[in-house]
Structure 1
Amino acid sequence: MVMTARARHPLSADVRGRPALPPMTPVALPWTRRALDVVVALVLLVVLTPLMLLLAVLIRATSGRPVLFRQQRIGEGAREFTLYKFRTMRTGATGSALTNGRDSRVTGTGRLLRRFHLDELPQLINVLRGDMTLVGPRPESVDLAVRFPPEYQWLFRHRPGLTGPCQLRSRAHAALLDDRPDREEYYFAVLVPLRAELDAELLSRNSLTTVMGYIVRTLWYVLSGLWDRGGSGPCSDRPGDADTRHTEEGRSLCARS
């Protein structure tokens, strides 16, 4: 029986000897959602290919290889998959599994890509492959997922999304980690319960209309990077609001975004 430093529940170990999540029954994605995923991902990949090639050249010229960042994430039914992103951190950088708003490991080009979420464009390939869906819970890294409290592990039954309520708060959540002496403790104590609450609301009304609404809001959120310096743009939480997350006011703010 393996125990992680922060987890308070037993975990099994996989063939590599690292902690693993317990087996979970996946929540199947409706065929209509899958069809929408394929159509939208194909169209966006065709339209955005010139931009993606330009970004690849920019990354290669400013910070070398590799251009793509690959990481194991937890997918539907707690199965692992390889997530693709444009690399935004320095090669060989080590440190916390969580990135804050002022992380010194992020390159100058990486900050630009992160600000407008351009680093996430390769995830359209994950959507096309069926690893991810357009709108769903945030895809969690394996190292963090195995340390989730048991009451929130139900999230990993669902297919993770390219966008969603938590993804639309990414700038604000990163800023909330800036001055925390222990980022991971704060993440599991405050942000994980908040994200589970937001994702539960999404999944309870995850219709095609909801999906299309999130796609529109995501476009607006990306554009808000032009003026949003502190995570106070549309569909985001402001630094300093963390302690009111679970008040009635805090929940109503989350529900509107």
Structure 2
Amino acid sequence: MVRLFKHYIPHAVLLLGLLDLALLLIAADLAWTLRAAQIGTDPGTLGERLLPLGGYAVTTLSAMIAVGVYGPDALRSMRFACARLLVAISLAILALALLDFVLPGHTYWRSTLLYAMALAIVLLVLNRAIVGGLLGTTAFRRRILVLGAGLRAQRLKELAAKPGSGFAVVGFIDMTGSNALVPEAVPRSAIADLSGHVANLGASEVVLALEERRNALPLKDLLRVKTAGVHVNEFSSFLERETGRVDLDTLNPSWLIFSDGFSSGRAISSFAKRAFDICASGLLLLVTFPVIAVFALLVKLDSKGPAFFRQKRVGLYGQTFEIIKLRSMRTDAEKDGAKWADKDDPRITRIGSFIRKVRIDELPQVWTVLTGRMSFVGPRPEVPQFVDDLEDKLPYYAERHMVKPGITGWAQINYPYGASIEDARQKLEYDLYYAKNYTPFLDLLIMLQTLRVVLWPEGAR
């Protein structure tokens, strides 16, 4: 994987994205030249049309990221990829047509966009067919050697076997000779030269997966492997990189303290984040006010009670604040106290079911963003009752409150709606990853992919 702004991106995704960007530029230029020839207009020099060509390519690529074109399902299935490509390019064309309407002139001719759309679909599908056929799905999978044969090693074996895994295990070494769960593990005593064994297997990385490191850390072996040019990684860091979450089962305070993350140099990023929140929330409130007003009226007509729902939530540094949403449940939904929503929850009203699926009920929260209690991106704020319970049952739960809560977040785009302690545990692992690796780049990625969750509601309740 390639680490970009503290976030890991698979080599296959990066290569495909760069090729797609080049093909989008080619499609836009061909469309521009073709349309100019049809109407007898000078297309101009490449330098003169580079800005609109780049705008088309970046907008379309952003739409592709947003709808999940580079997700694991799209990388494995041509049919899935083609369907998402059609949606992404259609959204990009609508966005560019709107830009041409707002900024009239020769920004983006609608006929040129039509040609560019058709050419882009052909080129992008061919790209996936050719690159996938030549390289295959395993071309960029890293070859790792696991030091350990216990429960951690077994977890790596299972993770490697999952479709879309970015690595393949080429061998296991039993370092202790006891409690082995991986039968194919080779005893350390049977290997005379570990660095030579690593070279013979063609491993590009060694992962330390010992159950007990006290008096068992093979420092001499690891030093020789490291000086031979092979990357050596610790189990928790490896899982963070491969899964995009912090593994609570193996997490300890020393790893959080000494690992990369929670950078103190966030002052500029935090300022930029707040400036974006103010500008975007103000604009969004102006644009969506008619939508909020219409659905507020529908909520009132659909069931008795106020159109808006207010509730206490826990935010930054554990301080409570009040959120406001369009009411999607009956007014007596919490007469026995707050509780998670269930599938087909009877407390949800008819109009409430719809606005929850398309996330319209979240729009009034933009006001909370404008006032500074929330951000667009961050861990979802929970009610105090849930927080008290979860802090008792889940380790490190309080650490998620070290960043400002958000309307959308890393957990929301990676994990479906949860209504149990185990779901809360899984989402906490994603929230800790976000808190540890926050950058404006990660925020941008989350906001783009939130569109995928809205278009294809996954687990909305």
Superposition TM-score, scaled by structure 2 size: 0.39
Distance 2:444 2:414 in 1: 18
- Residue 145 of structure 1 corresponds to 387
Larger CA deviation: 88-97 vs 209-218:
88-97
1:64 aligns with 2:296: no
* Alpha-carbon distance, 1:123 to partner: 0.6
Match of residue 360 from structure 2: 118
Structure 2: state its 5+ residue gaps.
1-265
Which residue of 159, 162, 167 maps to 2:407?
A: 162
Partners of 1:138 and 1:70 in 2: CA distance:
15
Report the CA distance between 1:169 and its aligned residue: 5.5
Aligned positions, number: 189
Cα separation, partners in 2 of 1:61 and 1:169, compared to 1, 3 Å: farther
CA distance in 2, matches of 1:104, 1:166: 26
Letter paired with 1:131: R
- Equivalent residues of 2:399, 2:432 under 8 A apart: no
Is residue 435 of structure 2 the alignment partner of residue 199 of structure 1? Answer: no
Residue 449 of structure 2 is aligned to residue 213 of structure 1:
no
CA distance in 1, matches of 2:414, 2:329: 21
SS in 1 for 2:323: strand
1:107 to 349, 356, 362: 349
1:223 aligned residue: 455
SS of the residue corresponding to residue 92 of structure 1 reads coil
Q: Is residue 84 from structure 1 mapped to residue 337 from structure 2 by the alignment?
A: no
Percent identical residues: 30
Q: Which has the higher contact order (CA 8 A, sep 6+)?
A: 1
TM-score by length of 1: 0.68
How far is 1:132 from its partner?
A: 0.5
The alignment status of 1:50 with 2:290, answered yes or no, reads yes
CA–CA distance in 2 between the matches of 1:79 and 1:167? 22
CA offsets 1:132-183 (integer angstroms, 9 cap, x no match): 011111111111011123521111222111101223367x334xx4xxxxxx
* Equivalence for 2:276: 36
Pair 1:70–1:110, CA change in 2 (3 A) = same
Distance 1:137 1:153 in 2: 12
Provide the rounded CA distance (Å) in 1 between the counterparts of 2:320 and 2:391: 19
| Structure 2 counterpart of 1:11 | none
AA matched with 1:67: A
Structure-2 residue corresponding to 1:12: none
Letter in 2 for 1:201: Y
Deviation per CA, 1:29-76: give whole Å up to 9, x if none: 811111111111111111111111111111111113211100000010
Aligned position for 1:182: none
Backbone CA RMSD of aligned residues: 2.1
Partners of 2:456 and 2:398 in 1: CA distance:
32
Quick one: which amino acid aligns to residue 297 of structure 2? V
Write the distance in 2 (CA, Å) between the matches of 1:49 and 1:90.
23
Uncovered stretches (5+) of structure 1, i.e. residues with no partner: 1-26, 178-186, 237-257
CA distance in 2, matches of 1:91, 1:195: 28
Instruction: Indicate if the aligned counterparts of 2:410 and 2:434 stay in contact, CA closer than 8 A.
Output: yes
2:32 counterpart residue number: none
